[in-house]
Homo-oligomer: A and B are copies of this chain.
Amino acid sequence: MAKTTTPQKAAAARQRGVTMSDVAQHAGVSRTAVSFVLSNRENASISEETRIRINDAVQALGYRPNAGARALASQRSDWYGLVTEIVTAPFAVDIIKGAQDQAWLDRRFLLIAPSDQADAVGPNQGLEDAAVEKLLEQRVEGLLYAATFHRGVHVPESAHEVPTVLINCFDADGKLPSIVPDERAGGRVAVERLLQAGHSRIGVINLDPRIPAAVGRLEGAREALAGAGLELDPDLVVSGYATADGGYEAACEILDRHPKNQRPTALFCLNDRMAMGAYDAIKERGLTIPGDIAVIGFDNQELIAAYLRPKLTTVALPFEKMGALGVQTLAALTAGQPITADQQLVDCPLLERSSV
């Protein structure tokens, strides 16, 4: 914080763009010397005295390196590209946060390009060609692709020109490394929590059974039950739309289908929005949470989970961590690590609140 620059001087100078040559002239040395000092060159022989003179000149003139010129000369850009539909469909924003923070730590820049393929199906699903093309024009050293929900995607050819890592989705063609949530472990931990609370009749409000999240979470639920010597009762599993209304309807069905004494005492909702609807169904019937019926969700959508009454116990999707891990993985790849199609599973931690 030892800036001795007078703001006026510095500002005025910057307007016209202070270059290394200006600094060199001011310090009475060659531009090369300045370059050596600024890039902290190991084996450069610059006396302590001139090093100081140069640094002083930098301060005095308010010199600021030109990142573009540096990239051009050094053939390295310090930039990663992030293609994502998250900007378009604001869910899983924490992926961006995690990636941003990690990139910032690594002194790299994230160029974010929007993709609007969230709901696309068919040949063009996945990365958007135009976005990738634009990013490659910026000479990004690597690409990240982040999806709003866990699924398989197709990646365009050009993305293979630089190291690429998928976040919250995986390569349908099985060539690229990816970072995805460990849905199965998450489902297991959720149901284990319910078992631990003494529940044995557990209802499940399922998602569309074809998506990876549903498959994994349900599988995990089965494992947990099996661990307690129980089986998943098909009568207690109802699928619905992934919305509050869907959850409401599914919960109504589960609750009304059975006589009181065979009714489940706990509901595992495969996402928080459905849990939100389930709350309504339960309350409407004069039942209490968690007294009469315990509820556990999945996703940890803060706006819902933290604001429902009672607050919702849920399994969190590790968005931020996945984002950070994506950047770290990409860093390793750009540093020369061989590219494999590994799928890294990230833990989904249980968030205890008040609904169990």
Q: Which of B65, B111, B133, B243 contacts A307 (CB 8 A)?
A: B243
Closest A-B pairs by Cβ, 10 of them: A244-B307, A90-B93, A68-B68, A303-B303, A67-B137, A67-B138, A68-B71, A100-B114, A7-B157, A280-B309
A149, CB-defined interface residue at 8 Å: no
Chain B residue with Cβ nearest A90? B93
Chain B residue with Cβ nearest A86? B93
**Which residues on B sit within 8 Å (CB–CB) of A309?**
244-245, 248, 277, 280
- 15 new A-B contacts, CB < 8 A, other than A87-B93, A244-B308, are A11-B160, A14-B158, A64-B133, A64-B136, A66-B72, A69-B72, A90-B94, A109-B138, A110-B112, A112-B112, A243-B307, A244-B307, A248-B309, A277-B307, A304-B304
Is A139 in contact with B96, judged by CB distance below 8 angstroms? no
Is B307 in contact with A276, judged by CB distance below 8 angstroms? yes
Minimum Cβ distance to chain B for residue A23 (Å): 15
Minimum Cβ distance to chain B for residue A155 (Å): 13
- Complex Cα–Cα for A98 and B112 (A): 13
**Which residues A290-335 have CB closer than 8 A to chain B?**
301, 303-304, 307-309
The 8 A CB mask of A276-295 against B (1 = contact, 0 = none) is: 11001001000000000000
Query: Could you list 16 examples of A-B contacts with CB < 8 Å?
Result: A14-B161, A66-B72, A66-B137, A68-B71, A68-B138, A69-B72, A87-B96, A88-B97, A90-B90, A90-B97, A97-B114, A104-B113, A104-B114, A109-B138, A110-B112, A273-B303
Chain B residue with Cβ nearest A89? B97
